[in-house]
Homo-oligomer: A and B are copies of this chain.
Amino acid sequence: MTASYSYGQPARVSARLRARVLDAAARLGYPGPDPAARSLRRGQAGCLGVVLGEQLSYAFEDVQAAAFLAGVADVCGERGYAMTILPVTGADDDSMRIRVAAVDALVIWTLADDDPVLPAVQARGRPAVVHSGPALAGAGLVTIDNRAAARAIGAVTFAGARRPAVLSFPVGRDRSSSITPGLPPAAASFPVTRQRLAGFCDAAGDLGLDWASVTVAVCSRNERAEADSLTTQLLRRPGRPDAIAAMSDEQAAGAVRAIRAAGLQIPGDVAVSGWDNSPAAAEFDLTTIAQSLRNQGNACATAALDGRLGHQAAPWTLLCRSSTRTPESAA
């Protein structure tokens, strides 16, 4: 029954014969061509792998990651690829999993510089595209200019402020939270965190503020609750901040809650800014950096599947709303 190749190329066989074959197959309980054998023979799996970092299941709870994945999913859907999420848990066998995954290309969602799966990604020898960072030899990169964007939004957020603060993403893979004045950007091993800190630092410098006096509160997760509690702590400390630049709208939303709970005015007492222009930004009328993680997901998937492994700069915009001081009020 060699001619059962009515499956793969329906055009190559007469409709009648094809029908007979399919019918016989159904009668015999043949489940169709075996995917493993097919991909062995064809040399491709029809599948795009997505590496999501240690906290895989958190990825689904994070609005930003979800938007990015939706973008990747769009492309997979269009091109008939499946989308494999590689469960990276932080355990030793992560690299092995990446080695063993049947994927034609890889998309990597932001990792730390020292993440042990990065060598595995390179060793895999498949086209790979990293989102945001770290840049990887031989792999593509899609990112906005985080430093420039942070500088721009920092300028607006910190304008007229004397004691700025930053609500930061995690600094290292342990994702511990902390409050540190003048935390050096270089201390962050997540490129996104590092670049945004550097940009906020630039902005402070532009305004004649000393970075050492800028308090950096590092959140271990990207969510309102923790940002709320860290902000509450910040507000209780001597020299309470009068401007808070967050790295996400979710964090900013938490900050807004804490500030209101403390009976303070936004932006009069404390200016706040977010990042991403998510629904939360609209809800709280936050000044934010607008970027489309969905488009970036699209770009990553497309580049990976096409093997276009260059560096792509994604667009961003500064969106000023009422959570920060206007030039007049700041003056």
Contact = CB atoms under 8 A, between A and B. Distances in A.
Interface stretch (A26-34, A196-204, A308-316): A26-34
A77 B51 CA distance: 12
Contacts of A61: 66-67, 70
A60 interface: yes
Interface stretch (A85-93, A136-144, A226-234): A85-93
A320 interface: no
Contact of A85 (B46, B73, B78, B123): B73
A56 interface: yes
Contact of A84 (B39, B57, B85, B123): B85
Given A36-B40, A82-B86, A85-B82, A124 B31 contact: yes
A102 B47 CA distance: 9
A61 B97 CA distance: 27
Contact of A82 (B73, B84, B93): B84
Contacts of A49: 82
B66 A82 contact: no
A66 B60 contact: yes
Chain B CB count within 10 A is highest, among A36, A76, A93, for: A36
Contact of A83 (B34, B85, B89): B85
Interface string A48-87: 0100000011111100001101110110111011111111
Interface string A232-245: 00000000000000
Contacts of A59: 70, 73
A49 B35 CA distance: 13
Contacts of A32: 99-100, 123-124
Contacts of A101: 35, 82
A106 to B, nearest CB: 12
Given A31-B125, A84-B82, A39 B36 contact: yes
Interface in A2-18: none
Nearest to A68: B60
A331 interface: no
A175 interface: no
A1 interface: no
A275 to B, nearest CB: 19
A93 B77 CA distance: 11
A47 B100 CA distance: 11
B73 A56 contact: yes
A45 interface: yes
A100 B37 CA distance: 10
A84 B87 contact: no
Interface of A: 29, 31-40, 43, 45-47, 49, 56-61, 66-67, 69-71, 73-74, 76-78, 80-87, 89, 93, 97, 99-103, 123-125
Given A57-B73, A84-B84, 11 more contacts: A29-B125, A33-B99, A36-B102, A37-B40, A38-B100, A57-B70, A58-B70, A59-B70, A60-B69, A60-B73, A66-B66
